[in-house]
Chain A
Amino acid sequence: MEIKVPELSLVVLVGTSGSGKSTFAKKHFKRTEIVSSDECRALVSDDENNQAATGDAFEVLHYIAGKRLKNGLLTVVDATNVQKESRKPLVDLAKAHHCLPVAIVLNLPEQVCLERNKKRPDRDFGPHVIKRQSQQLHKSIRNLKDEGFRHIFILKSEAEIEAVAEIKREKLYNDKKEEKGPFDIIGDVHGCYEELHELLLKLDYKIEEVQPSGNNLGFVVTPPEGRRALFLGDLIDRGPDSPRVLRLVMSMVRSGVALCVPGNHDMKLEKYLNGKQVQLKHGLEFTVQQLEGESDVFKNEVREFLRGLVSHYVLDDGKLVVAHAGLKEEMQGRGSGVVRSFCLYGETTGEIDEFGLPVRLNWAKDYRGNAKVVYGHTPVPEAEWFNKTIDIDTGCVFGGKLTALKYPEEVLVSVKAKKVYAEPSRPINFEAQSTTLSAQQEYDDLLNIADVTGKRIIQTRLRNNITIKEENSIAALEIMSRFAVNPKWLVYLPPTMSPCATSALPEYLEHPAEALTYYQKKGMSKVICEEKHMGSRAVLVLCKDEATAISRFGITNEGIGVCYTRTGRNFFNDPVLEQAFLARVNNALTLCNFWERFQTDWVCLDAELMPWSAKAQSLLKDQYASVGAAAGAALPEVNKALQAALARGIDLGPALEKFQQKEATISKYVQAYQNYCWPVHSLDDYKLAPFHVLATEGQVHVDKSHEWHMIEIAEICKMDPQLMRATPYRIVDFEDEASVQATIQWWTDLTQKGGEGMVVKPYDFLAYSKDELLQPAIKCRGSEYLRIIYGPEYDMHQHLKRLKNRGLNGKQSLAMREFALSIEALERFVRKEPLRRTHESVFAILALESEEVDPRL
């Protein structure tokens, strides 16, 4: 005998003690799929036969089963389940999770069970127990269907039980995860044949009208290469030619060119065709009229077609869900009456509004699922993404337009309605206002604290899951809420960067050899070395104009952009100065036709903004200059005293030399920080050195080489050489030893002149060695610069020796995680995901920054 159960179901075993349920379960199901009452008894009381623990045990059992079903896992309940009262909570549980309850009854002769129990010393209850269970079981069998079990299997003998070779798991009809598209998803047609025809042509479908025969009902449709159409239901009613729409769509579905899910109107027609009593209202009256001229054969075809429609589909590995009225996450890929009715009608409160329509709840507002949901049902003036969902019913039949969403491209294609075929009960405002915020932007005004605090696990494209510890979220919340710029601007935070491995040369802590070797050993053939400017990290999010700030970022009255630091704070304390600065950069972008060339209205630039003293004023004064001042005042006095003692003929040992050396290093140290300071009186005194064109509309530019970034940026910098500075760089070819040597020399010259050092990056923005993502950049700092990091005397032999003992693993791991998160934030923003998704990534970077890592690295 073969038993078939739905892939996701709650399998309830029914049978008396000793009927062999546990053995049966173990034979046919995975160990983790089975929840047994005996085991639960043991869990809560250390004794699996302790009947006093039954109440607690079943609480645990129901809890576990509930969690499994929530997570979409088939679950088997191994308990006697011979009483209706014990089965009811299980049926309810299955219903609550929108999956089907299945009963497998092991109905063995009482004698067999009694015999078996006798052999088991732990089952010391008397024969009357089995007898009673047996009676209850017999009473139960005929009622199982009424209790709500959708599949019932009854096995009457040991032989029958033995004969079950396999329990087959059947996919639900809605599971089309293997279908990856590309799709053209089409909203509510409502009998608008002409518009549908035009839309399909616009989407490059070829439509041929033929004599109906076999599969086709009058049309042969050829889609563009590899594409499929996907109809969201409500094909009919209200519009001028519902039968023809049905002919076209049915032909397409039958020939495999299209998929279709049902709408509420379609289902009402099915009822009508089945001869059930329905009110001829809401446009059905027209459809019925239009069908009058059609043959019974056709009407039958229609009825069959409608009957076969599946409530919703889960497509493309679970990344896409289509349903007429949308679908909540917990219902996706499940099958129950509740799911079907949600797919058809959406969520309603049961109330009726002033237009006589049911009051709908906006399920999309709370949508948090991973799948994108494309739906229709409620006419809207414009299709807009909202929390990863999009309603593409743009009210064609009401004089709006018929819209298709190309997936995965996410491009919207529409044709305008030829006329107003019907008046909506609830007026639709087709005059879309571009100056107001979209629903998503309005919603995004409020972030939810539950999305950022506590322990969090974030999935990133580049590096899978990244875990953020609770204590780090705690630290980030304060910084983010007290100091960061408007979160809508905050689409990126720069990742930290690891220094190169410690130099093998005795007099260096860092040297280019190790930085280059890292990439060479990982199999890179070339790398790029960029001069490291010593200023403060600055991220610029800049719009072409203020209108873009509203339309793309949902930000009003904050100018054309923002310039923020590596922790998300405003770079400039004076907003007027900031806007003037941004206007200069904006002007440079305009002059080099940046907006047109990139087809964008905004850009995110990663940059260094100099001088260091402009932003780090207090750090410089309170720490760096202070140390210089203290040492500069004390050391000459010390050496004076030592000299005097020496003059007296005292043997000072190495002390004098040591303190003279200290005095010398202090002046080098002061000079080192002075290199990065100059007074700022006006904008012209700032120097901006961008090094990444991170993102523009529709694109995160991580698919380009760093050379591309350098060239693009040099173009922009040419437009305002007073303010902007292109970064000097060199490409190093590992095949060419001369280019390696020349780069080392370049670094040496650069750092001797007081430069901070250089950053070595793989030639391509994203570089892999086999499957391993490589460090996006490695810094190699100059010896004098390191003096302000490691202390004035760091290069004295005895110090350097100790300092060389430094571990980079923590820093490198941090750099990788932050890099993955930073790109993730940009990707999410560029893909127009809800703000919380971008914010989550940015917040995580800030949280990681509070991890303890040696700040000198």
Chain B
Amino acid sequence: MLLNITTTHKPATDLGYLMHKHPDKFQSFELSVGEAHVFYPEVSEDKATLSLLLDIDPIEMVRGGRHDNNFALGHYVNDRPYVASSFMSVALAKAFSSAMNGKCKDKPELVEVKLPYEVSISVVPAPRGGEVMIRKFFEPLGYEVDLMRHELDPKFPEWGESKYYTLKLKNVIKTRDLLSHLYVLLPTLDSDKHYFVNKEEIDKLLQKGEGWLKQHPERELIIKRYLLNFNYLAKQAIERISEGETEEVIEELETNEVKEKKESMHEKRLNLTLEKLVASGAERVLDLGCGEGRLLRKLIKNKQFTEIVGMDVSYGELLKAKERLYYDDMSPKQQERIKLFQGSLTYKDARLEGFDAAAVVEVIEHLDLNRLRAFERVLFECAQPKTVVLTTPNKEYNVMWEQLPAEEMRHNDHRFEWTRQEFMDWAQSITEKYQYTVVFLPVGEEVENIGAPSQMAIFTYGN
């Protein structure tokens, strides 16, 4: 909420000319939800400090439905009034627009002069990656970075550190550049923006990043974070910023993607699942727990499948799947082929009856063990597809992941993870109860005595 800019340039009083702010005035500017104030706590020939203070009205901020999806922090008690966020950038642009544009009416010669600056910001919320990321953003631009992290609550030291830092930056730099850096980088430290992110944001970003963003080693991350991880916006921005080098960079991005794809365990799993579904001869298939529809996108490309159903318990995931499948743009014939609906694997569901095959990829471990019995009956007794291709992580393989502490599961929503034996025991019990036969397959590279990262069971109805 407070940004102090100090210079020891001689005479330090030049700061007033550079910033177009009179050292003896307390000036205020309207913001959408409050005010910003500019004043000088200290002014002398040797040293001058200018403060930009945000005075955000927390109640105004949550009124009038400002807390839409693009404002996830729209809780009624939040840190917005106390941090340097996108509000700070807006205030910077508003208070110091001339300086930021490299104008100085009274002393134009100062514009191109690099001055010794010290900036102190109370406080910045550190993104994931914390201190390292803050340094990565500022240090390549020549700043000396000093960070002080604050405790969550001194009364409860066991709660640990908060995500807030007081950030101090030192650099000898042109005023215009300093302000541009702050304008672009402060919001990237925050995971939230108080206004809707749209294409105009790209223009602002490119304008303020002119002359330095292109060369910044972390430019992609900065762009992504500035555009709030809106991938498609980020991609456009990266394309625009890299004019002339488009080919190379885009290619690099893609090959990275391809690489990632090649390595993706999940991809392997989906491909194997697809292979087994094809081999089963199934035409009408279910993808139970389809998520955002990665398997569906593979299924729809194969003409063997005449009816494809994706079901997920999360409505949000289904909407994503629909979008990724471009469902609304499909021809009626195609729409006939694929259906998406919300459902739960612990409720009997007539819509699931009469299919040739069902894929249940990395789903059961998200069910509580005591709900597994309901799941079994829903799938094997009621829906009764001829083939079931089911995968779940192999717990034994967890030792191969160095970052994963012993006894911890791979995903914080996993309710259980099974060893190969446990999985086999469960699958065998299915075959006894519901007239299925089963074969097992490893998914991914097998390691001796440990098995593969994931395990697959293929159930076939009838003895």
Chain A residues packing against B (C-beta within 8 Å): 445-450, 452-453, 474-475, 477-478, 480-482, 486, 557-558, 613, 620-621, 623-635, 637-638, 640-645, 648-653, 655, 658-659, 670, 674, 677, 679, 788-794, 799, 802-803, 855-856
Judge whether B102 is part of the interface by a CB distance below 8 angstroms.
no
> How far, in angstroms, from A475 to B344 measured CA to CA in the complex?
12
Q: Which residue of A lies closest to B370 (CB)?
A: A486
Considering only residues 23-78 of chain B, those with a C-beta below 8 Å from chain A are 24-26, 37, 39-43, 49, 51, 53, 55, 58-59, 63, 75-78
In which size bucket is the chain B interface? 35 or more
Which of B81, B314, B342, B374 counts the most chain A CB atoms within 10 A?
B81
Output the least CB separation between B259 and chain A (Å): 33
B374 lies within 8 A of A449 (CB): no
> How far, in angstroms, from A163 to B2 measured CA to CA in the complex?
96
Judge whether B162 is part of the interface by a CB distance below 8 angstroms.
yes
> Which residues of A are found within 8 Å of B374, using beta-carbon distances?
445-447
Chain B residues packing against A (C-beta within 8 Å): 1-2, 4, 24-26, 37, 39-43, 49, 51, 53, 55, 58-59, 63, 75-79, 81-83, 120, 122-123, 125, 150-153, 155-156, 158-160, 162-164, 166, 313-315, 342-350, 366, 368, 370-371, 373-374, 377-378, 382
A638 lies within 8 A of B152 (CB): no
Q: Which residue of B lies closest to A638 (CB)?
A: B2
B123 lies within 8 A of A630 (CB): yes
Output the least CB separation between B378 and chain A (Å): 7
Q: Which residue of A lies closest to B350 (CB)?
A: A450
Say yes or no: A655-B152 contact (C-beta < 8 A), given A474-B315, A475-B315, A627-B78: no
B58 lies within 8 A of A793 (CB): yes
B82 lies within 8 A of A477 (CB): no
Q: Which residue of A lies closest to B343 (CB)?
A: A449
Q: Which residue of A lies closest to B162 (CB)?
A: A629
Say yes or no: A629-B151 contact (C-beta < 8 A), given A452-B347, A645-B26: yes
B150 lies within 8 A of A633 (CB): yes
> Which residues of A are found within 8 Å of B51, using beta-carbon distances?
641, 645
A629 lies within 8 A of B153 (CB): yes
Say yes or no: A648-B40 contact (C-beta < 8 A), given A449-B348, A641-B4, A791-B58: yes
State the majority secondary structure of interface residues on B: mixed
> Which residues of A are found within 8 Å of B343, using beta-carbon distances?
449, 477
Which of A624, A627, A792, A799 counts the most chain B CB atoms within 10 A?
A627
A474 lies within 8 A of B162 (CB): no
> Which residues of A are found within 8 Å of B75, using beta-carbon distances?
623
Known contacts A446-B378, A478-B344; can you find 17 more A-B pairs with CB under 8 A?
A: A447-B348, A449-B343, A450-B349, A474-B315, A480-B344, A624-B77, A626-B79, A627-B79, A629-B151, A630-B125, A633-B166, A634-B123, A637-B166, A641-B51, A789-B77, A791-B59, A793-B58
| Other-chain residue from A474, A477, A641, A856 in contact with B41 (beta carbon distance below 8 A) | A641
Closest 3 CB pairs between A and B?
A644-B41, A629-B162, A481-B344
> Which residues of A are found within 8 Å of B370, using beta-carbon distances?
486, 557-558
| Other-chain residue from A475, A627, A641, A658 in contact with B77 (beta carbon distance below 8 A) | A627
Q: Which residue of A lies closest to B377 (CB)?
A: A446
> How far, in angstroms, from A445 to B4 measured CA to CA in the complex?
64
> Which residues of B are found within 8 Å of A474, using beta-carbon distances?
315, 342
B53 lies within 8 A of A638 (CB): yes
> How far, in angstroms, from A630 to B165 measured CA to CA in the complex?
8
Say yes or no: A625-B153 contact (C-beta < 8 A), given A633-B122, A634-B82, A641-B51: yes
> Which residues of A are found within 8 Å of B155, using beta-carbon distances?
674
B159 lies within 8 A of A637 (CB): no
> Which residues of B are found within 8 Å of A624, using beta-carbon distances?
77
A635 lies within 8 A of B378 (CB): no
> Which residues of B are found within 8 Å of A635, using beta-carbon distances?
1, 82
Output the least CB separation between A589 and chain B (Å): 24
> Which residues of A are found within 8 Å of B150, using beta-carbon distances?
629-630, 632-633
> How far, in angstroms, from A632 to B151 measured CA to CA in the complex?
10
> How far, in angstroms, from A188 to B18 measured CA to CA in the complex?
103
| Other-chain residue from B123, B346, B350 in contact with A481 (beta carbon distance below 8 A) | B346
Output the least CB separation between A515 and chain B (Å): 22
Output the least CB separation between A78 and chain B (Å): 37
> Which residues of B are found within 8 Å of A640, using beta-carbon distances?
41
> Which residues of B are found within 8 Å of A448, using beta-carbon distances?
347-349
A634 lies within 8 A of B152 (CB): no
Say yes or no: A794-B59 contact (C-beta < 8 A), given A625-B153, A628-B153, A789-B76: yes
> How far, in angstroms, from A149 to B63 measured CA to CA in the complex?
69
> Which residues of B are found within 8 Å of A453, using beta-carbon distances?
342
> How far, in angstroms, from A387 to B160 measured CA to CA in the complex?
53
Write 28 A-B pairs (CB below 8 A) sorted by A numbering: A445-B377, A447-B346, A448-B348, A475-B315, A477-B343, A486-B371, A613-B156, A621-B152, A625-B159, A626-B164, A627-B77, A628-B153, A629-B150, A629-B151, A630-B162, A638-B1, A638-B2, A642-B39, A643-B41, A644-B41, A644-B42, A645-B40, A650-B24, A650-B26, A651-B26, A652-B26, A670-B153, A679-B158
> How far, in angstroms, from A75 to B410 measured CA to CA in the complex?
63
> Which residues of B are found within 8 Å of A670, using beta-carbon distances?
153
B122 lies within 8 A of A625 (CB): no
B348 lies within 8 A of A446 (CB): yes
Output the least CB separation between A477 and chain B (Å): 6
> Which residues of B are found within 8 Å of A475, using beta-carbon distances?
315
A621 lies within 8 A of B371 (CB): no
Say yes or no: A633-B41 contact (C-beta < 8 A), given A481-B313, A481-B347, A628-B153: no
Say yes or no: A645-B342 contact (C-beta < 8 A), given A449-B347, A630-B79: no
Q: Which residue of A lies closest to B24 (CB)?
A: A650
> How far, in angstroms, from A231 to B153 measured CA to CA in the complex?
74
> Which residues of B are found within 8 Å of A643, using beta-carbon distances?
41
B348 lies within 8 A of A655 (CB): no
A791 lies within 8 A of B76 (CB): yes
Q: Which residue of A lies closest to B159 (CB)?
A: A621
> Which residues of A are found within 8 Å of B153, using beta-carbon distances?
625, 628-629, 670, 674
A629 lies within 8 A of B4 (CB): no
B2 lies within 8 A of A641 (CB): yes
> How far, in angstroms, from A558 to B371 measured CA to CA in the complex?
12
Say yes or no: A790-B76 contact (C-beta < 8 A), given A447-B347, A625-B162, A653-B26: yes
B78 lies within 8 A of A623 (CB): yes
> How far, in angstroms, from A11 to B125 measured CA to CA in the complex?
77
B315 lies within 8 A of A855 (CB): no
| Other-chain residue from B26, B39, B83, B377 in contact with A630 (beta carbon distance below 8 A) | B83
> Which residues of A are found within 8 Å of B158, using beta-carbon distances?
679
Output the least CB separation between B362 and chain A (Å): 15
A788 lies within 8 A of B77 (CB): yes
> Which residues of A are found within 8 Å of B350, using beta-carbon distances?
450
Say yes or no: A478-B164 contact (C-beta < 8 A), given A486-B370, A626-B79, A648-B40: no
Which of B55, B155, B347 counts the most chain A CB atoms within 10 A?
B347
Output the least CB separation between A397 and chain B (Å): 36
> How far, in angstroms, from A779 to B433 measured CA to CA in the complex?
52
> How far, in angstroms, from A635 to B123 measured CA to CA in the complex?
9
A650 lies within 8 A of B39 (CB): yes
> How far, in angstroms, from A450 to B155 measured CA to CA in the complex?
51
Q: Which residue of A lies closest to B1 (CB)?
A: A634
